[in-house]
Structure 1
Amino acid sequence: MDLQDQLRNLFPDHTPEEPEKPDVKPSYWLQDDPLICKYEKRKGKPVTIIEGYNGADTDFKKLAKDIKSLLSVGGSFKNDKIIIQGDYRDKIMEFLKSNGFSVKRVGG
């Protein structure tokens, strides 16, 4: 007899409720113009650069943090650009499209 059966014996009138799963997507300010996702090499290291966001800096910084935590990589936010260490264009573009952004791939 497992724990669920023991609880049913102790409380026969109780019906367990399903826990609610919060379906909260991060809300960013969406724009009409596409974000530009490009690949560069800086000092011999590959980097992915996202630029072209014309919303608030706080939203863009939040987006940068979410992308970095999604990919578990380092990066920074400088001069209205998100710089991600490594070549992750495909994963970043998929993430941005799932959040409602239009994305344009530049280079390579």
Structure 2
Amino acid sequence: MKDLQDQLKNLFPDHVSEPEEFQEVDNELWMQEEPLICKYEKRKGKATTIIEGYTGADDDFKQLAKEIKVFLGVGGSFKDDSIIIQGDYRDKIMSFLKDKGFKVKRVGG
């Protein structure tokens, strides 16, 4: 059985394949000295966890918000320099952020 490259060469004999280049995506977030604030609030009768105090770029904070939402499998948003996660996940979020290398401070409750 021929491998895929040979089959493609037979189908497209004039095609010149370009070398594949893999670009590594730099997912490093800017670490800061001040701890992130992780607090619990009720908004419109629903529990929310709010993370604020990030002093890096907004794009990095949005990436962090996405990683937290995927990790927890919940919804949330990024507004006004804070991450809003649906539900009370302070302990899980704090351990997730500590594993990433952030300092985290729990506020309230």
* Band the TM-score falls in, shorter-chain normalisation: 0.7 to 0.9
Question: Which residue of 2 is the match for residue 64 of structure 1?
Answer: 65
> What is the alpha-carbon distance in structure 2 between the residues aligned to residue 96 and residue 27 of structure 1?
13
Q: What 5-or-longer segments of structure 1 have no aligned partner?
A: 1-24
> What is the alpha-carbon distance in structure 1 between the residues aligned to residue 27 and residue 57 of structure 2?
15
Secondary structure of residue in 2 paired with 1:37: strand
Question: Which residue of 1 is the match for residue 41 of structure 2?
Answer: 40
Aligned residues: 85
* TM-score between both structures, scaled by the size of structure 1: 0.76
Question: Which residue of 2 is the match for residue 28 of structure 1?
Answer: 29
Report how far residue 26 of structure 1 moved: 4.1
Deviation digits for residues 38-94 of structure 1, max 9, x if unmatched? 000001000000000000000000000000000000000000000000000000000
What is the alpha-carbon root mean square deviation over aligned residues? 1.4
Determine what percentage of the aligned residue pairs are the same residue: 74
Question: Which residue of 1 is the match for residue 86 of structure 2?
Answer: 85
Structure 1 runs of 4+ aligned residues shifted over 2 Å read none
Deviation digits for residues 6-58 of structure 1, max 9, x if unmatched? xxxxxxxxxxxxxxxxxxx9411000000000000001000000000000000
Q: What 5-or-longer segments of structure 2 have no aligned partner?
A: 1-25
